[in-house]
């Protein structure tokens, strides 16, 4: 699966920007929040040490000596304390200060506890005395800037991430705008037909993708040269094949008319028919080569009327139909399409040739053209034996002939029709004729081919 450039750019920017925001939050914490917390913890530690130094045990009962003459007594309005035994019973101090649960291993625990409607920071210390282990909880009542500092940290962190989101949105918009030339180039190439190998104007693209366009133009140039060579080869081959084959047909006809050749006339006629089949097969192979998309990239299409094509082809086959006692009819209305006239002529000629070949004497062949639902079409319908439904996909294959087919065809007729139809993005349908007899071949062209 292909990756997206814009998605990768956003990802590459989002991760560093997120790390920068987190680093800024850490700097804010160490500059504003950490000093306040450290100062409060130091005061609690000093107060706890002072109070532990005043703990005395009398008759197994622990008390705190509050004699002000002794130094390091914390101020009552700054520090509150609670001395409790292991069962949590208050031994001395303020009962409002809630007990703090400690683990079995730790000896000190810093925590937040509710007191007088607000949350205060406390330090709970467990130590041994002559009367057994006791715990001392000390709470700092002095108002500090820690909540404001923490709020400031959260506000800073939130604003940093809001800025990050806004920045990423702006970057995404900028990337989309910056990628517009690439999209225009993509759309221009996608909108071209296979025949359009014009070079892309390099001055209309940004410098960053100019090397890509230059490479594409070189590729287009190579394809143009290759196609021109192929077209020239096809034209030369057609000339080299048709000229001697036609000459052979003429010479065989003259030879068969000579009195001295009468004993060999049957053989000469057989040879003449074989040469005729060879000429037909050669023409079909050359048509198939010209219908290949790779050989028609540089073809110049024209706007033509399908009715004119139908009239020309029908006129060319009229004598053959008359000799075979087949009624060849035309039913055509105007329908415009952009295509190569010679290829459409080949398409329709192969359809009419097949129909005349497989329609018995006394039958009929109808050639039609027009528009159906805005789509131009060509159709040939006959009253022959028809093509079974199971054979219809196979008769499109090259060199395939149905079993027990009459004549000496090459099996290329419908393959040529299918190849030319696909070249112009048309659909070819093989179905039964009227009343379920014969065959009807319909070629429908897409609407965008119509002018």
Q: Are residues 142 and 199 in the same domain?
A: no
Mean pLDDT of 149-178: 78
Pick the last residue of a domain from 80, 113, 148: 148
- In Å, how far are 62, 86, 101, 105, 106 from 138, measured between CA atoms? 16, 16, 14, 20, 16
Pick the last residue of a domain from 237, 269, 288: 237
DSSP β-bridge partners for residue 160 = none
Mean pLDDT of 114-134: 78
162 Cβ neighbours under 8 A, 6+ residues apart? none
Reported as a pLDDT band with limits 50, 70 and 90, residue 327 is very high
DSSP secondary structure letter of residue 106: -
Residue 204 included in any domain: yes
CATH of the domain at 95: 3.30.450
Q: Are residues 314 and 438 in the same domain?
A: yes
Q: Are residues 317 and 442 in the same domain?
A: yes
Quick check: 286 pLDDT over 70?
A: no
Q: Are residues 361 and 232 in the same domain?
A: no
Q: Are residues 19 and 111 in the same domain?
A: yes
Query: In this predicted structure, which of 5-14, 301-310, 382-391 has the lowest mean pLDDT?
Result: 5-14
Decide if 78 contacts 46 (C-beta within 8 A).
Answer: no
Residue 424 included in any domain: yes
Helix (H, G, I), strand (E, B) or coil at 201: coil
Quick check: 315 pLDDT over 80?
A: yes
Residue 281 included in any domain: no
pLDDT digits (tens, 9 = 90+) for 397-414: 776 666 666 655 566 778
Q: Are residues 200 and 119 in the same domain?
A: no
Decide if 167 contacts 42 (C-beta within 8 A).
Answer: no
Decide if 338 contacts 302 (C-beta within 8 A).
Answer: yes
Q: Are residues 394 and 312 in the same domain?
A: yes
Residue 324 included in any domain: yes
- In Å, how far are 39, 83, 121, 138, 270 from 43, measured between CA atoms? 6, 18, 11, 10, 122
Q: How many residues does the chain have?
A: 451
% the chain with pLDDT above 90: 11
Quick check: 236 pLDDT over 70?
A: no
Q: Are residues 20 and 139 in the same domain?
A: yes
Reported as a pLDDT band with limits 50, 70 and 90, residue 450 is very low
Mean pLDDT of the chain: 78
Q: Are residues 108 and 224 in the same domain?
A: no
Determine the Cα–Cα distance for residues 142 and 44; give it in Å rounded to an integer: 11
Quick check: 149 pLDDT over 80?
A: no
Q: Are residues 110 and 205 in the same domain?
A: no
Residue 115 included in any domain: yes
Quick check: 421 pLDDT over 80?
A: yes
Domain of 407 in residue numbering reads as 301-449
Q: Are residues 63 and 198 in the same domain?
A: no
- The per-residue pLDDT for 231 is 65
**Among all chains, which residue has been given the structure tokens 């009819």?**
329
First-to-last C-alpha distance (Å) of the chain: 39
pLDDT digits (tens, 9 = 90+) for 329-373: 999 999 999 888 888 888 998 899 888 888 899 999 999 999 988
Quick check: 305 pLDDT over 70?
A: yes
Determine the Cα–Cα distance for residues 205 and 186; give it in Å rounded to an integer: 11
**Alpha-helical segments (H) within 324-382:** 341-358
Decide if 110 contacts 125 (C-beta within 8 A).
Answer: no
**Among all chains, which residue has been given the structure tokens 């014969």?**
438
CATH of the domain at 357: 3.30.565.10
Reported as a pLDDT band with limits 50, 70 and 90, residue 298 is very low
- The per-residue pLDDT for 174 is 82
Higher pLDDT, 220 or 143: 220
Residue 113 included in any domain: yes
Determine the Cα–Cα distance for residues 138 and 217; give it in Å rounded to an integer: 82
**Alpha-helical segments (H) within 29-144:** 34-52
Q: Are residues 308 and 424 in the same domain?
A: yes
pTM assigned to the model: 0.48
- The per-residue pLDDT for 352 is 92
Mean pLDDT of 159-166: 80
Residue 278 included in any domain: no
Query: Two tokens at 397?
Result: 């294959």
pLDDT digits (tens, 9 = 90+) for 181-223: 888 888 888 877 666 778 888 777 788 788 888 888 888 888 7
Residue 142 included in any domain: yes
Reported as a pLDDT band with limits 50, 70 and 90, residue 314 is very high
Consecutive H or E run containing 247:
helix 210-257
Closest listed residue to residue 413, CA positions, set 403, 399, 423 = 399
Determine the Cα–Cα distance for residues 322 and 418; give it in Å rounded to an integer: 28
- The per-residue pLDDT for 366 is 93
Q: Say how many domains are in the chain.
A: 3
Pick the last residue of a domain from 237, 267, 291: 237
Compute the half-sphere exposure of residue 272: CA atoms within 13 Å on the CB side of its CA: 15
């Amino acid at each position: 699966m292909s990756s997206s450039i814009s998605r990768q750019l956003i990802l590459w920017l989002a991760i560093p920007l997120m790390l920068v925001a987190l680093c800024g939050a850490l700097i804010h914490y160490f500059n504003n929040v950490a000093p306040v917390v450290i100062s409060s913890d130091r005061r609690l530690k000093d107060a706890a040490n002072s109070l532990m130094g005043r703990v005395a045990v009398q008759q197994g009962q622990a008390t705190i000596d509050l004699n002000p003459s002794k130094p390091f007594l914390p101020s009552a309005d700054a520090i509150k304390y609670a001395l409790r035994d292991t069962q949590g019973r208050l031994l001395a101090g303020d009962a409002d200060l809630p007990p703090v649960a400690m683990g079995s291993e730790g000896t000190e625990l810093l925590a937040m506890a509710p007191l007088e409607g607000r949350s205060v920071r406390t330090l709970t210390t467990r130590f041994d005395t002559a009367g057994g282990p006791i715990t001392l909880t000390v709470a700092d009542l002095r108002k500090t800037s820690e909540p404001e500092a923490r709020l400031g940290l959260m506000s800073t962190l939130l604003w940093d991430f809001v800025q990050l989101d806004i920045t990423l949105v702006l970057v995404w918009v900028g990337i989309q705008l910056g990628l517009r030339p690439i999209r225009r180039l993509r759309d221009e190439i996608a909108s071209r037909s296979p025949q359009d190998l014009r070079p892309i104007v390099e001055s209309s693209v940004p410098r960053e993708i100019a090397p890509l366009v230059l490479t594409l133009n070189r590729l287009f140039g190579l394809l143009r040269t290759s196609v021109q060579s192929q077209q020239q080869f096809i034209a030369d081959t057609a000339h080299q094949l048709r000229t001697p084959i036609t000459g052979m047909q003429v010479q065989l006809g003259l030879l068969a008319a000579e009195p001295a050749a009468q004993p060999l006339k049957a053989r000469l006629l057989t040879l003449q028919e074989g040469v005729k089949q060879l000429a037909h097969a050669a023409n079909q192979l050359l048509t198939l080569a010209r219908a290949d998309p790779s050989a028609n990239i540089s073809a110049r299409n024209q706007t033509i009327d399908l009715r004119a094509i139908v009239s020309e082809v029908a006129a060319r086959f009229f004598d053959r139909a008359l000799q075979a006692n087949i009624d060849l009819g035309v039913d055509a209305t105007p329908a415009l399409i952009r295509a190569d006239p010679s290829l459409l002529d080949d398409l329709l000629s192969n359809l009419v040739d097949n129909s005349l070949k497989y329609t018995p004497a006394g039958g009929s062949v109808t050639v039609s053209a027009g528009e159906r639902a805005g789509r131009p079409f060509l159709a040939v319908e006959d009253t022959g034996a028809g093509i079974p439904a199971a054979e219809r996909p196979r008769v499109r294959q090259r060199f395939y002939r149905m079993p027990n087919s009459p004549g000496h065809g090459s099996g290329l007729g419908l393959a040529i029709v299918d190849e030319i139809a696909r070249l112009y993005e048309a659909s070819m349908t093989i179905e039964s004729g009227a009343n379920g007899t014969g065959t009807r071949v319909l070629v429908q062209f897409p609407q965008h081919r119509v002018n």
